[in-house]
Amino acid sequence: MAKVEKDNKESEKITRVKKLIKKRVKELEDNGLASNPLLESTTWKSDIVEDSVIPIRFEDEPLCEDKKHRVLSLFSGCGGMDLGFEGHFIASKKSFAKDSPLIDHQLNDDWVFLKKTQFQTVFANDILPEAEKAWTMYMRRFGYSENVYHNASIVELVKMHQKGADIFPQNIDVVTGGFPCQDFSVAGKRQGFNSQKDDWGKKRAENKPTEESRGKLYYWMKQVIDIVRPKVFIAENVKGLVNLGDVKDIIQQDFASADGNGYIVLTPQVLHAGNYGVPETRERVIFIGIRRDALKAEALQALESDEIPDEYNPYPKPTHAGTLKDKSLLPKVTTYDVLKDLKEPEESLDVSQKVYSKAKFLANGSQGQIEIKLDGLGPTIRSEHHGNIEFRRLSAEHGGKHSAELKAGMKERRLTPRECALIQTFPPDYRFIIKKTTGNGYLVSSSAAYKIIGNAVPPVLAYHIATRLEELWPKYFRV
């Protein structure tokens, strides 16, 4: 009897899928095959997976009914942190142990599909319109409306709230944010709190308060924490911040003052992405704050101790020997592991793989004038383009060492947006270069794609942070 009921339900679902597809095809015809999600997913091509993995959600089904924890995302970019907190995306098989409970199923010999988490993004924000386009294009597969994403400055949003506007959702459990890093980065001018850029990344006008400069936007994140009072907040920035005078300590103290000194802000830690299954030499400082009055008594005591017990430490332990010499860890994931299935740009059907920066090689030792190592970690992918993007391979004349590829006739070129994205552990079915559905031009160009990819938190690193927090949630908080 149970089997009959199960078969009937499956038959009903298949019928509903057919009706849904028929309905959407009709919409495509009515709209002249324009701006429809089904068309975009079926015409999009990948070198790695046969079809874009887009779960079908029916209109009468509740959104994320099994998601328990509500996330408010600031400085969201194209969603590296958000995707990590969401889960349910494609990753390299070598980024996880064979028997990892985090794997939902294996797609093929090289790629796996990760399990979903209990986190749900209810608000996202960034000033870059191209980041919004890429984010909404991918995240709608989870049922998210484009209204979740707010293309606005955090300064404007907080000021609107202060004037009585209903801006931020209620009942927020987690706030995440990678506040702008250019003013703290070793690759930048390192002006820190004295940034001459405003909250939109433009030159700061003389009458613009310094509190609204790009270097102090973390403080506006702190004000959002004051407003929504999450149980946890996670802030991310470049490693260079740690070595910039007392900047780290000031930021830590300011975050701790949120909600009337209501948060324990743990000692920030620098996480190397290569030690978490990411084929990249990316290092980021992570701040984690936890609201005191939401904690169980034993958790509060553990988190306030001079040395936090391992069973209460929210920072994920390394999984891979990226920079560590530890035989108990998995081998580092190399750039070859994630790039080997890609076709060369001239042969690829993937728009994000077909193009690359044509900036010529410069023999002056400047940034981006080296080729990547296929047997090791890739370089830190930066939010830049043209002459600062590393080479996929150099010619023999310029010191190229990938001799087998050169002998096979493969030419000197820089990394494509898709290759940069895979090194960052974005899934191979994430669309970065997006053409307009009518007329010429792009919603997200190749230059914009390089920028938003380089700004992002590696999704696999964020997934480890999210799943560790998910594991500790019942241990930390009262029901």
CA distance 288 to 264: 8
Burial letters 184-221, b for 16+ CB under 10 A, else e: bbeeeebbbbebebbbeeeebeeeeeeebbbbbbbbbb
Of 221, 302, 306, whose CA–CA distance to 257 is shortest?
A: 221
> Residue 131: CB partners within 8 Å, gap ≥ 6?
76, 77, 78, 79, 452, 455
> Tokens 């494509």 — which residue?
416
Distance of CA 397 to the CA centre of its chain: 37
CA distance 215 to 96: 36
Residue 434 is inside which H or E element, if any? Answer: strand 434-435
CA distance 284 to 270: 5
Give me the active site residues, please. 181
CA distance 422 to 92: 9
CA distance 118 to 67: 4
CA distance 479 to 475: 10
> Tokens 């076709």 — which residue?
343
CA distance 313 to 453: 29
